[in-house]
Structure 1
Amino acid sequence: MIVITTTASVEVVSRETIKPLCPTPNHLRNYILSSIDQNSPPIYIPVLLFYLNNTSINTNEKLVMLKKSLGECLSEYYPLAGTFKDDYSVVECNDEGAEFIEARVNFDISQVIGTSNVKLLNQLLPFESTGNWGKLKGKTDERKVLVAAQANLFRCGGLAIGVCISHKIADGTSVVAFLNSWASKSLNNYHGYNANIVPPPIFDSARNFPPREMPRYSHDIGITNKTIVTKRFIFDSSSILSLKKQASTAIIDSSDENIKFPTRVQAVSSLIWSRVLALYRSKPKYAKICVAVHAVNIRPRMEPPVPNHTFGNYWTVAIAPAVIKTEQNAGEMSSDITILVEKMNKSIRNVNAGYVKNMNVVAPVSDSPKKHSFSKTRHTRDSNFEESEQHRSRLNDNSVETTAKAFSKGDLEVCNFTSWCRFPVYEVDFGWGKPEWVCSPIKSFKNLVILMGTKDGDGIEASVNLLEEDMPLFENDPQILAFANYCP
């Protein structure tokens, strides 16, 4: 990758609002958020798709195609063209539209593909993922924009499409479904026939998870004013196979017959988690426990399952604890990947139909605001929640209050994982081919790991966010470099 010079710039040249092609009917004017929507963080999910200039379609034609098809797509995804009401429990589907920004980039697309430079990548987005609601670049509109897109035109003719969608209304699965729907309409318009048919969204989230009075959470755990550094590590198919074999040792020897072999995502996640544990253990002062928190798509785990084009937030988290240090045995090492992968495998497996059913059973709401990290809905426990982990009861993984206390005492660190590996992001074809690279640049979140499938579908790209002081030890860790290629 060529190094970007200090003179690199991204200049916004125009912005406009794209309205839905067809007005939203009166009976659909109020979109009710589900309980999971209510408790999702007030951030934007960012996606960047990079396209090489290898077709005869010129830049102006691409822009026309993008804007026309976006209007068509918003007619189907009508809540995204609306605005939040003041209490964030309802979207007023008023057809206000989506923001569309055109920007010119004074360098070649080859100079940015594959970069770990989140600051640069954020210039290609309509706004930062953790930015204030509705504050687009150069604009102070406070009406809480739900979706915005930025078409970045590189001097070489390449194109990067940056999209931000509110996490209060959609999860990663819904974001990718929206992108593929938008792209299919552009592709079909270009060909003049239905070259790619994508099923329309299903809006059932409030029926499946009815809204309710929710605990008042602060979503700032993991966000820090300290400098966060992002580095990208590539795990190819052969490395992942070797890693899975190593990680499977614990599964083969496990007395639990229900535990399945680890997936490639679990194997990679467990390796990263193990080295974060080792990193903390090397510090003079550190927390006693580090939990791995993995976002889980619950659509296929519901009874009955719902399809991935069911719109909204359909996710929860699987939580696996590991001991960094115990007073009884300060020298005990629990960062062995064979131990950690079993913990992670079991925690994800526990997110089953019974678990999801209990997400609708809510504990009493406290009047006092609590710090919120990884519990999305407070609910009672059934047998699907029970575990014999030594520290599981102490963590009480669905207790916001207990988690907040553990953080405040310095007893707990969190390593957050979110995987896009099964998402069809490399199928997003607007008519000029499939993307060369896709990423989701998020900054300011400590210990956040974003896993993306590689273009060939066999590897995994891990974008690791750590404190600046912690990254040198991690990026030079021999156990990481034994399986991954580091990309500056």
Structure 2
Amino acid sequence: MASSTIVSKKMIKLFSPTPPSLRCHKLSFMDHINIPLHFPFAFFYPKPSNKISQISQILENSLSKVLSFYYPLAGKIKDNNTYVDCDDTGAEYLNVRINCPMSQILNHPYNDVVDVVFPQDLPWSSTLNRSPLVVQLSHFDCGGIAVSACMSHTIIDGYSSTKFINDWAAIARHVDFKPSPQFNASTFFPLMSDASSSTLPVMHHPSQRHVSRMYNFSSSNLGRLKDIVTKNSHVNNPTRLEVASALVHKCGVIMSMEKSGMFKPTLMSHAINLRPPIPLNTMGNATCIILTTTMTQDEIELPNFVAQLQKDKQQLRRKLKDMNKDMIPLYTLELAKNAMNIIEKDTCDVYLCSGMSNTGLHKIDFGWGRPVRVTLATHPMKNNFLFFDEPSGDGINVLITLTKDDMLNFQNNKELLEFASPVVESTK
């Protein structure tokens, strides 16, 4: 089992101090209702030509510069998640030695082993008593490295975090540009006076053991899935995420049926970005969810499920378009609470789906090339599907989190293995 040793630990200060006028960053209603967790990205790279001391210096200097633009990540969340005191405390930065080759991590069948490249007990933990941003540089015995970043979901969502990482990498490569994030989400979703009562239930870490595996859908297999959907339904131009999520959902249902001996209704939650109509450079939380249900076994078939998913998307877009802007946060909260209530009542099997595709994460280059693997730590909630672009950019990877017993069944599904394959790397 890989173990780690902390070589150094420091706070990275901002290259330029935050102006007094920006010292108090008001959080939006969307920010406030989010469960305050650190969500954890990790990027793995083959052995760079630079020395580890040079790599660390590049990361530290560029992090200092990018924090001047993403200043709330260097502050402190205050007053029950209502504002960030942008006091330039800085971001935590760890330099860590890991006593195994990187291939031992990347070739392991389960994604759980990547936890070694994150600060201990930090992924998916509370952001209330920790820095909003914690970075770790991990170097392996083989010379390979990993760069991980745990960011406060209270301050930024998945889209915002990818913008931050892309801008950080660009600065590290000395690209001549100036990041332009706007921390103005509260102007679109202002915090309400009774916000303290409008929060989601706290997510508790499960008593069951959850595990995660990453699977790859090649471009050709995605094309095959799209053909199956279009030839057997009225769906036109299904997306990569729609057909891939439909398949993993179906495999999840089959797994559940084999375990219980009967079909159980399902609910799948898809997270969608509200940019646009919110401006693309708006940082913070600006997402909504689509809830798609199946009440019969026939509805889990790919053509039927994708058709229903597209219908649900269209209905949500129409509803949001016609809705007063001030009502969008409350509607989003209502949807999220409905999903949480269903999870608690156990009236149907719930699957959670979100996508990080088309965000450029597979291209993150700090100056020593693109990553061979982009991933997150194992999610604390089961039946979770998280999609990424694969390193080539043509296909798509999905990180699947299930209970340990369910994974043993799920990973042997013949239809899954016909269209997707476990992700491993022969990296030394």
> Does the pair score TM above 0.5?
yes
**Counterpart residue number, 1:472:** 408
Equivalent position SS for 1:218: coil
Equivalent position SS for 1:164: strand
Cα deviations across residues 325-364 of structure 1 (Å, max 9, x unaligned)? xxxxxxx5332111111111222333426516637444xx
**Counterpart residue number, 1:169:** 155
1:243 pairs with 2:225: yes
Cα deviation for residue 377 of structure 1 reads 3.6
Q: Which has the higher helix share?
A: 2
| Distance (Å, rounded) in 2 between the aligned partners of 1:183 and 1:351 | 35
Q: What is the root-mean-square deviation in Å for CA atoms of aligned residues?
A: 2.4
Alignment of 1:72-471 (within 5 A): 72-113=65-106, 115-127=108-120, 128-133=122-127, 142=129, 144-188=130-174, 195=175, 197=177, 199-212=179-192, 213-214=194-195, 215-220=198-203, 224-252=206-234, 260-284=236-260, 288-300=264-276, 302=277, 306-307=279-280, 309-324=281-296, 333-352=298-317, 354-355=319-320, 358=323, 360-362=325-327, 377-379=329-331, 398=334, 403=339, 406-471=342-407
| Distance (Å, rounded) in 1 between the aligned partners of 2:303 and 2:70 | 44
Counterpart amino acid of residue 323 in structure 2? N
Q: Which has the larger radius of gyration?
A: 1
**Counterpart residue number, 1:255:** none
Moved more, 41-50 or 73-82: 41-50
Equivalent position SS for 1:238: helix
From the superposition, tell whether residues 274 and 200 of structure 1 become closer, same or farther in structure 2 (CA, over 3 Å). Answer: same
| Distance (Å, rounded) in 2 between the aligned partners of 1:248 and 1:162 | 39
| Distance (Å, rounded) in 2 between the aligned partners of 1:453 and 1:172 | 14
1:14 pairs with 2:15: no
**Counterpart residue number, 2:47:** 53
From the superposition, tell whether residues 19 and 37 of structure 1 become closer, same or farther in structure 2 (CA, over 3 Å). Answer: same
| Distance (Å, rounded) in 1 between the aligned partners of 2:307 and 2:159 | 26
Contact 2:112 2:212 in 1 (8 A): no
Contact 2:211 2:378 in 1 (8 A): no
User: Structure 1 regions of 5+ residues with no counterpart?
Assistant: 1-5, 135-141, 189-194, 253-258, 325-331, 363-375, 381-396
Counterpart amino acid of residue 111 in structure 1? Q
Cα deviations across residues 235-275 of structure 1 (Å, max 9, x unaligned)? 111111101111223543xxxxxx64210110000011112
| Distance (Å, rounded) in 1 between the aligned partners of 2:27 and 2:322 | 18
Cα deviations across residues 82-131 of structure 1 (Å, max 9, x unaligned)? 00113111000000100000000122223323545344211201353222
Contact 1:115 1:487 in 2 (8 A): no
User: Structure 2 regions of 5+ residues with no counterpart?
Assistant: none
Moved more, 427-436 or 344-353: 344-353
From the superposition, tell whether residues 399 and 315 of structure 1 become closer, same or farther in structure 2 (CA, over 3 Å). Answer: closer
Equivalent position SS for 2:369: coil
Cα deviation for residue 288 of structure 1 reads 4.1
**Counterpart residue number, 1:327:** none
Cα deviations across residues 204-261 of structure 1 (Å, max 9, x unaligned)? 211111111332320428x521111212211111111101111223543xxxxxx642
From the superposition, tell whether residues 22 and 171 of structure 1 become closer, same or farther in structure 2 (CA, over 3 Å). Answer: same
From the superposition, tell whether residues 344 and 463 of structure 1 become closer, same or farther in structure 2 (CA, over 3 Å). Answer: same
From the superposition, tell whether residues 334 and 440 of structure 1 become closer, same or farther in structure 2 (CA, over 3 Å). Answer: same
Equivalent position SS for 1:63: helix
Cα deviation for residue 168 of structure 1 reads 0.8
From the superposition, tell whether residues 32 and 152 of structure 1 become closer, same or farther in structure 2 (CA, over 3 Å). Answer: same
| Distance (Å, rounded) in 1 between the aligned partners of 2:191 and 2:346 | 33
Counterpart amino acid of residue 210 in structure 1? P
Contact 2:13 2:88 in 1 (8 A): yes
Contact 1:296 1:318 in 2 (8 A): yes
Cα deviation for residue 425 of structure 1 reads 0.8
Contact 1:225 1:444 in 2 (8 A): no
From the superposition, tell whether residues 112 and 400 of structure 1 become closer, same or farther in structure 2 (CA, over 3 Å). Answer: closer
Cα deviations across residues 147-174 of structure 1 (Å, max 9, x unaligned)? 0100001122221101000111111111
TM-score between the two structures when normalised by the length of structure 1: 0.80
Contact 1:359 1:378 in 2 (8 A): no
Cα deviations across residues 306-343 of structure 1 (Å, max 9, x unaligned)? 22x3211111111111115xxxxxxx533211111111
| Distance (Å, rounded) in 2 between the aligned partners of 1:349 and 1:283 | 34
From the superposition, tell whether residues 400 and 232 of structure 1 become closer, same or farther in structure 2 (CA, over 3 Å). Answer: closer
Equivalent position SS for 1:469: helix
**Counterpart residue number, 1:389:** none
Cα deviation for residue 379 of structure 1 reads 2.8
TM-score between the two structures when normalised by the length of structure 2: 0.91
Contact 2:94 2:135 in 1 (8 A): yes
From the superposition, tell whether residues 260 and 43 of structure 1 become closer, same or farther in structure 2 (CA, over 3 Å). Answer: farther
Counterpart amino acid of residue 318 in structure 1? I
Moved more, 429-438 or 444-453: 429-438
| Distance (Å, rounded) in 1 between the aligned partners of 2:92 and 2:249 | 38
Counterpart amino acid of residue 311 in structure 2? K
Counterpart amino acid of residue 275 in structure 1? C
| Distance (Å, rounded) in 2 between the aligned partners of 1:220 and 1:208 | 26
| Distance (Å, rounded) in 1 between the aligned partners of 2:360 and 2:31 | 23
| Distance (Å, rounded) in 2 between the aligned partners of 1:75 and 1:286 | 55
Equivalent position SS for 2:249: helix
